[in-house]
Amino acid sequence: MAVFLCVASAAVLAAPTLFFPADSPTEPKLGLLAIGTVLFALGTIRIRTEHATSPIDGDVTGD
């Protein structure tokens, strides 16, 4: 799930460069930038929490 969010954010962030001419208004570009940033943040948070496991007493090894 998290990988798909990150891929979607990359697609959204690349869209202004791929589909809009260089002299187009900046408002749509900023909107897509905001959406892509939120998707990337959600994907990153999801990746960080997917594999997080809480240590069980007795399994922790340390110096």
pLDDT on residue 11: 94
pLDDT on residue 49: 84
**30-43 confidence digits (pLDDT tens):** 999 999 999 999 99
Reply yes or no on whether the pLDDT at 60 is more than 60.
no
pLDDT on residue 22: 87
Residues 6+ apart with CB under 8 A from 40: 5, 6, 9, 10, 13
Q: Which two tokens stand for residue 56?
A: 């069980």
**43-58 confidence digits (pLDDT tens):** 999 888 876 566 665 5
